[in-house]
Amino acid sequence: MDGDITEAAALRYGSGQEMELPVITGSEDEKAVDIERLRSTAGLVTLDEGFANTASCRSAITYLDGEKGILRYRGYPIEDLAEKSRFVEVAYLLMYGDLPTAIQLDDFSAILNSSSLIHEDMRHFFLAFPNNAHPMSILTTMVASLSAFYPVPENPNDEEEAQIIANLVSQVRTIAAFSFKKFIGEPVVYPSYKLRFVENFLNMMFSSPVSSYEQDPDIVKAVETFLIVHADHEQNCSTAAVRIAGSSLANVYAVISAGISALWGRRHGGANQAVITMLRSIQEAGDDGRQFIESAKNKKARLMGFGHRVYKTFDPRAIIMKKLCHRILGKPGMTDPMFEIAMRLEEAALSDDYFLSRNLYPNVDFYSGLILKAAGIPFDMFTVLFAIGRTPGWLAHWREMRHSENSRIARPRQIYVGPLKRSYIPVNLREKHSVGVMRRSRTKIVVSKYPEMADPSGEMPEMG
Which residues form the catalytic set? Answer: 308, 365
* Candidate list 364, 381, 387, 388; residue touching ligand CMC; CB under 6 A: 364
| Secondary structure element (H or E) that encloses residue 13, with its range | strand 4-13
Among 58, 267, 323, 402, binds ligand CMC (CB under 6 A): 267
In angstroms, the first-to-last Cα distance of the chain is: 51
Q: Considering beta carbons, is residue 59 or 363 the nearer one to ligand CMC?
A: 363
Half-sphere exposure of 117 (CA within 13 A, CB side): 7
Judged by CB under 6 A, the chain residues 14 through 33 that form the site for ligand CMC are none
> How many angstroms separate the Cα of 218 from the Cα of each of 61, 200, 341, 429?
29, 15, 23, 71
Least distance to ligand CMC, CB of residue 362, Å: 9
Q: Closer CB to ligand CMC, residue 145 or residue 261?
A: 261
Query: Looking only at residues 195 through 254 of this chain, which bind ligand CMC when binding is defined by CB under 6 A?
Result: 236
Nearest CB to ligand CMC, comparing residues 43 and 464: 464
Which of 181, 267 has the CB closer to ligand CMC? Answer: 267
Binding status of residue 322 toward ligand CMC by CB under 6 A: no
Among 221, 243, 302, 399, binds ligand CMC (CB under 6 A): 302
Report the candidate in 45, 81, 50, 46 with the shortest Cα–Cα distance to residue 63: 81
Q: What is the DSSP string of 378-399?
A: -GGGHHHHHHHHHHHHHHHHHH
Nearest distance from residue 352's CB to ligand CMC, in Å?
Answer: 10
Task: Using the minimum distance from each CB to ligand CMC, give the nearer residue, 232 or 380.
Answer: 232
Q: Which helix (H) or strand (E) holds 223?
A: helix 217-229
249 sits in the region (left: phi over 0; alpha: psi -120 to 50; else beta) called left
> Which of 196, 309, 344, 402 lies at the binding interface for ligand CMC (CB under 6 A)?
309
The yes or no reply on residue 91 touching ligand CMC (CB under 6 A) is no
Contact 276, 367 (CB under 8 A): no
Q: Does 307 bind ligand CMC (CB under 6 A)?
A: yes
Q: Which residue spans within 257-342 are E strands per DSSP?
A: none
Least distance (Å) between residue 162 CB and ligand CMC? 28
Sign of CA dihedral 50, 53, 59, 62: positive
Provide the binding-site residues for ligand CMC, judged by CB under 6 A: 50, 236, 267-269, 271, 296, 302-309, 358, 360, 363-365
